[in-house]
Amino acid sequence: MENKHKKFIRRSLYLANKGMGEVFPNPMVGCVIVKENEIIGEGYHKKFGGAHAEINAINNVINKNDIEGASVYVSLEPCTHFGKTPPCTDKLIEYNPKEVIISNTDPNPLVNGKGIKKLRNNNINVISGVLEKEGKKLNKRFFINQEKKRPYIILKWAETSDGFIAKEDGSSKWISCKTSRTLVHKWRSEETGILIGVNTANKDNARLNVRLWEGRDPIRVILDPNNKLEKKTNILNDESISLIYNNKQNKIQGQKHFIKISPFKLENIYYDIYKRGIYSLLVEGGGFTLNKIIEKNLWDEARIFKSQLKFFKGIKAPNIKKNIYEKIGEDKLFKITRNA
């Protein structure tokens, strides 16, 4: 039987996940308050700028006096600084629980151990590192942002059963099944940006928005070093913001931001994207762009659909070792994490 600390931290992680897509650039956080082995209050960070998980959990407790001497389980170290909201550590200290159990220390330099220290200095016992790996996986975007100062990079492509991502002429519709395509739109709604190379933009004329799922559209990012993007492409409509990285011009036209990067390197582009508030990127191709990113080890996760179709010849899919898969409709979905 799982020990009680893991049980309640697992509950806090479950609650935290409810904030997916709503709280960035903040991490997803859940909090559970326990007295005599019973949950008396719980909450999670619901929206960026809104109350943090600890405050929502405290507000969920019917009799606030019960918090004194209780155990507080929180998926990430409570904050100590004033941001959009006051510090959560101060509020916890005010209610005087006997202990605070934490999954992960917050890597943000504004926190990073300061919350734990402040709680201990106020005679509150702190236990950290419970289900640490699970906690870090939940907030993988946040940890990469804080530690590497760049977006979390997810590579995504669909390939045929014989290993091609497109036919010889570059066409690729539709390799994956409808269920897989719906899932991709869900993924788009969960990330702040979506990236493709100029050849894919011109060939596929993709809109890169969310249509098969409810959710916000990601910011569109196009790599176009030599200004080859055709004016008729859907990318250049003003339905949402598009960042077009090139090595020739800086200008803004409506929702289109042409950004000159010199030298034109992925590392420089990532840094600029991150500075603009894009904390995760779903990279949807094409083959040249995907291979360049893989070659430079500038990715964190790959999601690869393998369909039952065969092309027999065409453009080869990037080569990443893949083993375990799940079935999505008629397709196989492989998920590979580089920074495990």
Active site residues: 54
User: How far is 276 from 260, CA to CA, in rounded Å?
Assistant: 14
DSSP letter for each residue of 122-147:
TT-EEE--TTHHHHHHHTHHHHHHHH
> Which residues are within 8 A (CB) of 325 and not within 5 positions of it... i.e. 6 or more apart?
306, 332, 333, 334
Query: What are the phi and psi torsion angles at 204 (to 5°)?
Result: -90, -20
Torsion from C-alpha of 145, 325, 188, 190, nearest 10 degrees: -50
Directed axis angle between helix 114-121 and helix 88-95, to 10°?
A: 20
Q: What angle do CA 61, 64, 67 make, to 5 degrees?
A: 85
The total of other beta-carbon atoms located within 10 Å of residue 114's CB is 20
Under 8 Å between Cβ of 257 and 226: no
Considering only CA atoms, which of 185, 187, 157 is closest in space to residue 172?
A: 157
- Count of all residues that appear for the chain in the document: 340
Structure tokens at 10: 């697992």
Q: DSSP E strands: which ranges in the chain?
A: 30-35, 38-44, 71-76, 99-104, 125-127, 152-159, 164-166, 193-197, 219-223, 242-246, 251-253, 256-260, 280-283, 301-306, 315-316, 325-328, 331-337
Residue reference for tokens 């006051």: 86
